[in-house]
A and B are shown apart, each in its own frame.
Chain A
């Protein structure tokens, strides 16, 4: 696939083995005197998307931020292929948040700014910006102020920006929770495309249909712990834990 005669920016990064599996051991995170992650253990390996599900307050978003290194655990270990998180690993990850965070700049400048922060040189940046906008179907809006885009377009831009960084691991925190079905579909298509290019996707979702459509495995969280982790079909057809059963039946999980 890669022409060996063409020098590519970040080639070394992309050809190096993805830093997976990620092993989480006895992870604890406390904030404001509350233990929101309570001795969590889980192993996430490469191949396929991983969905994190669970009731509100289960600690899903916190787990994502701990994995991404945005917050520091109170105790426990997160090992990426045996390595603890460092700057170099962080540069091989990207994240899309629930509410699109876009700079007060043009659509193209939003992508360009992110690439600049990752140290991509200008000529390379222009190429990647074009690619990203084409991928997201936003090339006609390159010079539009990003914040006048619709909600769906904004989230698509956020995803395109994250993908332009060519991460090994992409985290998404309920990326489609406030989007209509069409916009959701557009995001899911982009995610499937990214997965095909070998990007490991870990997403938090409340949308059971979305998890079924996208995920290979499901991590079910409750009260700061993983109470079930199995492949997608198994999880939805034969959930093992009472909590997951209640959640899937639309019952209250207490």
Chain B
């Protein structure tokens, strides 16, 4: 128990003194996940909005697959990207394996279905209410998509935060395609896994505390967005 308390003290010390190693890992994690979520948001909004508005054969199937992919295990996403990027893979020439770019690609694959499916649901709910009015006003399908995305903005923020929560916390995908290389592809989650197995509980714990803090911050933002939306009757 004293070991644990010591480790905890050391961990807090690392955070308070802004230990360079810790900060480097934190920033890489944030860079990878924020970039991935930004890309996944653009893709997810477009896919979700289009699925809600356009009618085409196979639309139901695509929606169902998208929803199912929300539960894609990170290790599977990692494996797929690994196969694509490995030297013998179709994108091997790009030499991207074990780089932050590879990790971003894997997290985009992981997060796009989450944002896409939540966007589709938000847009469909709105469309049910708006459809006749928008068609009466003469809106084209493209204009309807834009209208729905903007009017669903509070729910889309929620979707983006859900995606970010998923990306920052996952370990499987970044471990496989990043390789957990010190100073290059070491993120908070892969570092926690490694340092714990090495017995360096202090650093693992410090990173764990930061991850928890991020999770709390994301959740607090979610609640704030929800409250604002309700107050403006925009929910």
Contact = CB atoms under 8 A, between A and B. Distances in A.
Contacts of B132: 65, 70, 95, 97, 101
A70 B135 contact: yes
Cβ-closest 4 pairs across A and B: A147-B233, A101-B133, A104-B234, A145-B232
Interface string A76-103: 0000000000010011011101000101
Interface of A: 65, 68, 70, 87, 90-91, 93-95, 97, 101, 103-105, 113-114, 117-118, 145, 147-148, 165
A235 B147 CA distance: 43
Contacts of B137: 94, 114, 117-118, 165
Given A91-B138, A104-B151, A114-B137, 7 more contacts: A70-B132, A94-B137, A104-B234, A145-B234, A147-B232, A147-B233, A165-B137
Interface string B123-162: 0000001101111111100010001001111000000000
B232 A148 contact: yes
Given A103-B151, A104-B151, A70 B136 contact: yes
Contacts of B130: 101, 103
14 contacts: A70-B132, A90-B138, A91-B138, A97-B133, A101-B130, A101-B133, A104-B151, A104-B152, A104-B153, A117-B134, A117-B137, A145-B232, A145-B234, A147-B234
**Which range holds the interface residue count of chain B?**
10 to 19
A91 B133 CA distance: 13
Contacts of A148: 232-233
A215 to B, nearest CB: 22
B164 to A, nearest CB: 23
Interface string B202-235: 0000000000000000000000000000001110
A99 to B, nearest CB: 9
Contact of A113 (B135, B147, B152, B234): B147
Contacts of A97: 132-133
Contacts of B134: 117
Q: Would you call the interface of chain A mostly helix, strand, loop, or mixed? A: mixed
Q: Would you call the interface of chain B mostly helix, strand, loop, or mixed? A: helix
B233 A105 contact: no
B232 A68 contact: no
A81 B229 CA distance: 47
B136 to A, nearest CB: 5
A117 B135 CA distance: 10
Contact of A101 (B129, B138, B150, B233): B129
B138 A118 contact: yes
A70 B129 CA distance: 14
Nearest to A158: B133
Contacts of A118: 137-138
Nearest to B151: A104
Interface string B101-134: 0000000000000000000000000000110111
Contacts of B143: 117
B139 A117 contact: yes
A87 B234 CA distance: 32
Interface string B167-207: 00000000000000000000000000000000000000000
Nearest to A90: B138
Which of A93, A113, A147 has the most C-beta atoms of chain B within 10 angstroms of its own C-beta? A113
A148 B136 CA distance: 23
Nearest to B150: A105
A65 to B, nearest CB: 8
Nearest to B129: A101
Contacts of B234: 104, 145, 147
A202 to B, nearest CB: 14
Contacts of B233: 104, 145, 147-148
